[in-house]
Amino acid sequence: MSAGGERHSIASASPGGDRRILFEDVSKFYGEVLGVNRVDLVIPPGITSLVGPNGSGKTTLMNLLTGLLQPTRGRIRVLGMAPGEPRLFHHVGYATQVDAFPRGATGFEFVASYLRLHGYGPAEAAELARRAIARVGLTEAAGRKVAGYSKGMRQRIKLAQALAHRPAVMVLDEPLNGLDPMARAEVIGLFRELAEAGLFVVVSSHILHEVDRISDQVILVNGGYVVAEGEIEGVRGEMAEHPSQILVRCDRPSLLASRVFERDSAVEARLLGDGRGLLVSTRDTDGFHRLLQGLVINGELAVETVAPADADVNSVYGYLIGGNGQGSRT
């Protein structure tokens, strides 16, 4: 039964005690074509989303992180280990976006066979494969050939293969592609479960509103450069040159609009269609909130709700990369 020792726990997954993923001045060129350039990143545990348009360098970053590519320059460390070190793969699982599988394999064989290459014995590999397949909801189809699976099932079996050896770092390239809404919700639930257990879950996706919902932090990539990184709100805050949008539902939006435009920092104010609110764009969020507070204290305005209208990935993505994010393909 024993595969040779060491009981695993997530807390002890990093051999050197380094609980981070680090990119230090990393560049990758494919001949003369830029993959990524001068990337400095620190990725903490939790769900981190890589967002960017097609060809922006997301897959290159993931392939560098997992040693499938070698950096042209710079240094990468995953839990203190270099991506080229074989022992790293005890701790890293990667579901690529490549939709290909060993010929003729059933779902179970696909997952179990690679567990054998991790050093698990036949019985252990079979048990771990069964568990991983159950976690992605494919138990019924495990004995069927992967070639006959639907796109969503293939996505899920890749996910099972990536998590079967219980890695501390999960790297998932477009893992939500091809999943129906139910499966998508379940997979997102699984990501959250893994993140809550202290794992690193690095996800790329072009479905921005889903990234927004699941991410602890976001990394925006464009043209091979990291454009912004951090928590969604933090990234948004970094965009000082872009005005913040604040939605205020109140009884006298016209009054609010006139007071807003007395200030230099206001860029735009739009009345909502129902006449009971105002969408304000301002470069001075704190000043706007002080103004609003004064109007309420003086009894000039009755406020129902105040909410940021653009502190989501879509907005940040649009500011930084120039699209609205809805139709982007990565």
Partner 1 sequence: MSTRAETVEQDLVDIPRPAEGGPWGNWRRQLPALVWMEFRRTFLSRRALGPWLLALLPITILGLRAIWPNAVERPGNVGEATAIFAGTFQFHLRLVIFFGCVAIFGNLIRREVLDRSLHYAFLTPLRRELLALGKYLAGVLGTGLLFGGATLAAFVLAYLPYRSADFFLRGPGFGHLFAYLGVTWLACIGYGAAFLALAFFVKSPALPAVALFGWESINFLLPPLLKRFSVIYWLQDLCPVPVNHGPLAVIADPPNPWIAIPGLLLLSAALLALSAWKVRRMEVRYEDE
How far is residue 88's CA from residue 171's CA, in Å, rounded to a whole number?
Answer: 13
Q: Does 80 bind partner 1 (CB under 8 A)?
A: no
Q: Does 93 bind partner 1 (CB under 8 A)?
A: yes
* Smallest separation, CB 6 to partner 1 (Å): 6
Q: Determine which residue in the list 40, 180, 193, 264 makes contact with partner 1, applying CB under 8 A.
A: 193
Q: Does 31 bind partner 1 (CB under 8 A)?
A: no
Between residues 67 and 318, which has the closer beta carbon with respect to partner 1?
Answer: 67
Select the span of 117-125, 208-216, 254-262, 268-276 touching partner 1 (CB under 8 A).
117-125
Of 205, 247, 260, 211, residue with least CA distance to 232: 211
Between residues 114 and 288, which has the closer beta carbon with respect to partner 1?
Answer: 114
* Smallest separation, CB 192 to partner 1 (Å): 9
Q: Does 100 bind partner 1 (CB under 8 A)?
A: yes
Q: Does 68 bind partner 1 (CB under 8 A)?
A: yes
- Nearest 5°: the CA angle 127, 169, 53 is 120
How far is residue 293's CA from residue 10's CA, in Å, rounded to a whole number?
Answer: 47
- The kind and range of the H/E element at 306 are strand 303-308
Q: Determine which residue in the list 26, 43, 88, 269 makes contact with partner 1, applying CB under 8 A.
A: 88
Q: Determine which residue in the list 22, 38, 127, 130 makes contact with partner 1, applying CB under 8 A.
A: 127
* Smallest separation, CB 74 to partner 1 (Å): 16
Size of the site for partner 1 (CB under 8 A): 64
- Nearest 5°: the CA angle 92, 156, 218 is 55
- The kind and range of the H/E element at 24 are strand 21-30
Q: Does 71 bind partner 1 (CB under 8 A)?
A: no
Bridge partners (DSSP) listed for residue 63: none
Q: Helices H, strands E: what count in the chain?
A: 10, 13
Q: Does 86 bind partner 1 (CB under 8 A)?
A: yes
- Nearest 5°: the CA angle 92, 97, 100 is 100
* Smallest separation, CB 119 to partner 1 (Å): 3
**C-beta neighbour count of 213 within 10 angstroms:** 15
Of 308, 149, 265, 241, residue with least CA distance to 159: 149
Of 29, 36, 14, residue with least CA distance to 224: 36
Q: Does 7 bind partner 1 (CB under 8 A)?
A: yes
Q: Which residues of 296-330 are buried (b: 16+ CB within 10 A; e: fewer)?
A: eeeeebebeebeeebbbbbbbbbbbbeeebeebeb
Select the span of 100-108, 234-242, 263-271, 282-290 touching partner 1 (CB under 8 A).
100-108
Q: Determine which residue in the list 3, 82, 272, 302 makes contact with partner 1, applying CB under 8 A.
A: 3
Q: Does 175 bind partner 1 (CB under 8 A)?
A: no
Between residues 58 and 236, which has the closer beta carbon with respect to partner 1?
Answer: 58
Binding residues for partner 1 (CB under 8 A)? 1-10, 15, 30, 59, 63, 66-70, 86-90, 92-94, 96-98, 100-104, 113-114, 116-121, 124, 127-128, 131, 134-137, 156, 161, 165-166, 183, 186-187, 189-190, 193-194, 197, 199
